[in-house]
Amino acid sequence: MSTNELYLLISAVLAAVGLVVVMRVRVRGHAEENERLAGEVVCEHLRPAWELLAARGHRATRVGQKTPDLPMEIHVQPPFDPQALFAELKLAEPVFVSERQVIYCKEDWCEIHPTA
């Protein structure tokens, strides 16, 4: 094995290790950003539901709005029962559980999804 081949092999191993480290940091950063963003965008009507879910260990896996004419969506893992949470917190208008089994605020166009 020549010196150039040895350098190439060492470089490839270092690049692979570096890739793994960088991907772990990015995944962790993305999860932290989702949590921060969910706390910022959740409306005041749904804040009690979000805070209870967060206290129980649920995490936001995706936060965003597909288009401006659709509601803000907060997707949560592990799944939860929206109807049970609605009843437990005694939520009222403008919050309701939609036919799609998400907790939804009509006034602020915000949804909390129990991601399956």
- Tens of pLDDT, residue by residue over 11-31, are 999 999 999 999 988 888 888
Tell me which of 37 and 111 has the higher pLDDT.
111
Residue 112: pLDDT above 90? yes
Q: 6, exposed or middle or buried, with CB in 10 Å at 0-12, 13-18, 19+?
A: exposed
Give pLDDT, residue 98.
87
CB neighbourhood size of 82 (10 A): 22
- Tens of pLDDT, residue by residue over 78-89, are 999 999 899 898
Residue 1: pLDDT above 80? no
Q: What is the pTM of this model?
A: 0.76
Cα distance between residue 59 and residue 114, in whole Å: 10
The packing angle between helices 47-55 and 82-89, to 10°, is 110
Whether the ω angle into residue 48 lies within 30 degrees of 0, i.e. cis, is no
